[in-house]
Amino acid sequence: MAMDASDPLIRMEERRALLIPRPEMPYGWGYLSGPLNGHFLVSVDERRVRVQFRSGDKVVRAFEWQTPGHIVDTTVAAPPAPRTVTSGELAGAKVAALVFTAWRPAPSAALIYRPEQWAVQEVEAGVIVNGEPAGTARIKAAPYWAAFLRETRVPLPAEACKRLRPVNDVTLTNPGGAVFGVGSVRLEVTLADGSALSSAVCERFYFSAPQSGGENLAHAAYGWGLIPAALRESVALGEPLGPLSVRF
């Protein structure tokens, strides 16, 4: 892929909840964007296979195997240095936003092929951060192949920023009794010194209804089926989702 030179190399786990079972994590890795002129170079020498993920001439990641299923990392990009942030720093944030991916089924299979109808099926979910209202999330219907793909961003008002802390409770209300799911929930802030910081990504996905309470059509049940049962939680239709614990 060819990316703009300004695009940072973002590890997948910094922006998305991973669906790979934990025992298999050592065998999987990925990046959400970048790098410039990113490509894979694969070389085979008899039974040994070497794979390099490159940015131009620079090797970003490399691994090899000789026995199927036994992968050895030979080059690993260093993870970003962890940063500890205090309650005072968070309370003084210039701006902040709640960010998540969402899924909402189209009301019929026919509408999957009519993009002009997706916005019509938009629902509103109230956002509560640390016990106080903090905005409204607008979630649009989307085709099944876009489930939990696009990010929804909800800017937080100044008063909500002042209540931020290292561990935050986030709740989404569902007064209209709509069927939807949210995942990869995180908070992003710009601190007083201008530095940007993102919380850890919530590992679990949350649904506004049990699967049995939703439509039985395959396109309408796709969201539940996509997420492993161990990573999803559901509430009764119309009940609030959460609180979700979002940690910096």
Residue 246 token pair: 């979002």
Encoded amino acid at 164, one letter: L
Position 131, amino acid:
G
**Digitized pLDDT (tens) for each residue of the chain, 248 residues in all:** 334 444 567 788 889 998 877 777 666 667 776 666 778 899 999 889 999 988 878 888 899 999 887 888 898 877 777 788 999 999 999 999 999 999 988 765 555 556 555 555 788 999 999 999 999 999 988 777 788 988 999 999 999 999 999 999 999 999 989 999 999 999 999 999 999 999 999 999 999 998 864 445 555 677 888 898 889 999 999 999 999 999 99
Task: Give me the phi and psi of 27, to 5 degrees please.
Answer: -100, 0
Q: Are 2 and 33 in contact (CB under 8 A)?
A: no
Where do the structural domains in the chain lie, given as residue ranges? Answer: 10-75, 87-247
Whole-model pTM? 0.79
CA distance 236 to 210: 7
Task: Name residue, tokens 């992003």.
Answer: 188
**DSSP letters along 77-95, please?**
PPPPPP----HHHHHT-SE
Residues 6+ apart with CB under 8 A from 166: 85, 86, 87, 90, 247, 248
Distances (CA, A) of 43 to 49, 62, 92, 222: 6, 11, 51, 38
- Of 12, 13, 14, 19, nearest to 231 by C-alpha is 19
pLDDT at 100: 97
Q: Torsion angle of alpha carbons 223, 225, 231, 236, nearest 10°?
A: 60
Query: Do residues 228 and 19 lie in contact, with contact meaning Cβ atoms separated by under 8 Å?
Result: yes
